[in-house]
Amino acid sequence: MSATKSAAHILKRVLMVPPKHFTVEYAINPWMGGVVDKKKAHQQWDSLKSAIEKAGVQVLTMEQTEGLPDQVFVCNSGLVYDNKVYLSRFRHKERSGEQPLYLEWFKKNGIATIGEGYEEIFEGGGDAVFSDPKTLWAGYGERSSKSVYERIKALGSFDIVLCDMVLPNFYHLDTCFAPVDETSALYYPPAFSEATKKEILRRLPNSIAVSEAEANAFVCNAITIRDTVISPIGVSQDTKNALSKRGKQVEEVDMSEFMKSGGACQCLVLRLFLATRVKRNDFTNNYGYGPFGIGPTNGGFDSYGFYRDKFYNSGLPPLYSFASYRNYYHEISFHKNKYGQPAPTDFEVLQQERFGPYYDGVWGYADHSKNWFGKR
């Protein structure tokens, strides 16, 4: 994978937490206050999820636990890279109850965990974000320690660009910095030390400085997917024009209910960056029918898109069949097929020498635009 290809262009899936129990019950940042309209919060969350899916990224979800109102801000759960996660350790006790729930989810979903026994504070994707697979922007100050990034090197081989944040209102990196592509980011200059500002412009020379009004509207809490910048409402026309010159379009999403707790688009999303392993159960000898005949299946789409027989019962054509998968890791990317169902557009079984025998027999793939078979 080219180190110059931006993270925005290779992101395949993210994790989100629906706001079932979202409220503002305490104040651990300068923005927190007000009464949450729960119906409106659900609508805003759904709009963000839809925008992400429309841009071409699969959204996985985990349930929110009652009594943990900030669990919706799942970006802070850890930093994911290449099938590993460095776990968060929250500064404030109000969020510490989230940590074991994230640990359980990562382990259940085949992502190796690092950092369980470490004491340094670290608030995950809120303070650390990749602009490309070889460059991690690493914020420190209010919520994450500078020293934690020595341990984060265990995730893989990449440059760590330390970012000294100096304003208490911009306590997480994702409140004042958002990578756009391999040469640019949205950023709010006053939030950083002089040395950090120079490094941003050295490494991302086409970066766009946002105004104070935009920063206070959480415009830097945007997430870029391919050529779409999904942002809270408040992007100025100047910023839109600058992004347009870089081939980007802006989609604004109302995040007003979540801003009452100091979060917006990026806070609600954990990038599962380069996480290609998906550990599933044994599919052997579970048979259904595919477009080319008989093939194993087992009960409808699971959360990663394996097609199982509950959709066969709906009368819609099945998408593919496969044979003899036993607890191995697969990479799948997704789009919606013409029936509105999740459909695999790219199906790759990872290296045999790394994970052992990965299948035997014949496997197949089909969607409404193309079909093909492979055999090993």
What's the pLDDT at 352?
25
Domains located in the chain, CATH noted: 7-271 (3.75.10.10), 287-375 (no CATH)
Contact 324, 332 (CB under 8 A): no
Other C-beta atoms closer than 10 Å to the C-beta of 2 total 10
β-bridge mates for residue 374, sequence order:
363
- Looking at the chain, list the stretches that DSSP marks H as alpha helix, in order from N- to C-terminal side: 7-10, 38-54, 99-108, 148-152, 194-203, 212-216, 237-245, 256-259, 352-355
Q: What angle do CA 223, 225, 228 make, to 5 degrees?
A: 90
Per the annotation, the verdict on 172 as an active-site residue is yes
What's the pLDDT at 35?
81
Contact 342, 318 (CB under 8 A): no
Candidate list 75, 163, 265, 267, residue with the active-site label: 267
Candidate list 75, 172, 265, 330, residue with the active-site label: 172
What's the pLDDT at 359?
31
Q: How far apart are CA 27 and CA 15, in angstroms?
A: 25
- What are the tokens at 136? 């991690």
What's the pLDDT at 348?
32
Amino acid type, 221: N
What's the pLDDT at 70?
92
> How many Å is the Cα radius of gyration of the chain?
21
- Return averaged pLDDT per consecutive 10 residues of the chain, 376 residues in all: 75 97 76 84 98 97 95 97 95 90 95 91 97 98 94 96 96 97 98 98 98 98 98 98 98 97 95 68 33 38 35 33 31 40 37 28 29 30
Per the annotation, the verdict on 267 as an active-site residue is yes
Phi, psi for residue 131 in degrees, rounded to 5 = -90, -25
β-bridge mates for residue 163, sequence order:
139
Where residue 83 falls (left for φ over 0; alpha for ψ -120 to 50; beta otherwise) is left
Q: How far apart are CA 155 and CA 111, in angstroms?
A: 12
- What are the tokens at 190? 């006053």
What's the pLDDT at 91?
85
CA–chain centroid gap for 372, Å, is 30
> Which long-range contacts does 42-46 make (Cβ < 8 Å, 24+ apart)?
42/18, 44/253, 44/254, 44/255, 44/256, 44/257, 44/258, 45/16, 45/18, 45/19, 45/72, 45/258, 45/268
Question: Rounded to two decimals, what is the model's pTM?
Answer: 0.74
What's the pLDDT at 94?
83
* Nearest Cα residue to 360 out of 293, 288, 285, 306: 285
Contact 142, 165 (CB under 8 A): yes
